Amino acid sequence: MNYISGVLYWISTGLLVPVVILLILFFIRSLLLIGNFFGQYVSIHKTESLLRAELDKLDYENVTDICRRLPDKNPLPVVSYIRKLIDAQNSPAHMQKLLDEFELFADKDLSVSKTLIKMGPMLGLMGTLIPMGPALVGLSTGDISSMAYNMQVAFATTVIGLFSSGIGFITLQVKQRWYVRDMSNLEFIVQVLTQKTLKG
């Protein structure tokens, strides 16, 4: 039994370095996610009112003119997909395929936030529990410096894990609303294009 316990102890202790490395990578990824999120927010803020105004007055007679009224150099995916839908207006199958592609694009973009939400606390908890063993050993042998070091690692990994998870949660909540609204707008344009085809 002591042998098995020793093996488990060495395995768990050996996992500390990979866990810490992953947490550092997650922390860096969360910072990059914040930058990307801010860039998206700025672009949406510039385009949202214009796009809403265009959609409010959209009908089957002027639907193809919407591309000319939208900014040419706009990084938002929804603007790009609006142009693609206009180009594919004579093919309902292609328009449906474009809607499916946008849904997949949105899911892929949200996957980073979802990963941070799920993996951040898991790795943070592992980073907390793993150093607890050596910390208790240090406490039992009177090695206070070793115990303090391991406790420092334990608390630091918890903070990093929760920070990454928090960034993922906030960005996921906001981006989901963005993509639901974009999908609704694209489906509306498809309906108007279909109406135009039937009228024609």
pLDDT of residue 200: 56
Residue 62's pLDDT is 78
DSSP structural state of residue 200: -
What pLDDT sits at residue 140?
76
Q: For residue 199, what pLDDT is reported?
A: 66
Segment-wise mean pLDDT, segments of 10 residues, the chain, 200 residues: 76 88 96 94 86 82 78 80 88 92 96 96 92 78 80 92 96 96 93 77
Q: Domain boundaries in the chain? A: 1-198
Q: What is the pLDDT of residue 142?
A: 77
Helix (H) or strand (E) holding 88: none
Residue 124 pLDDT? 93
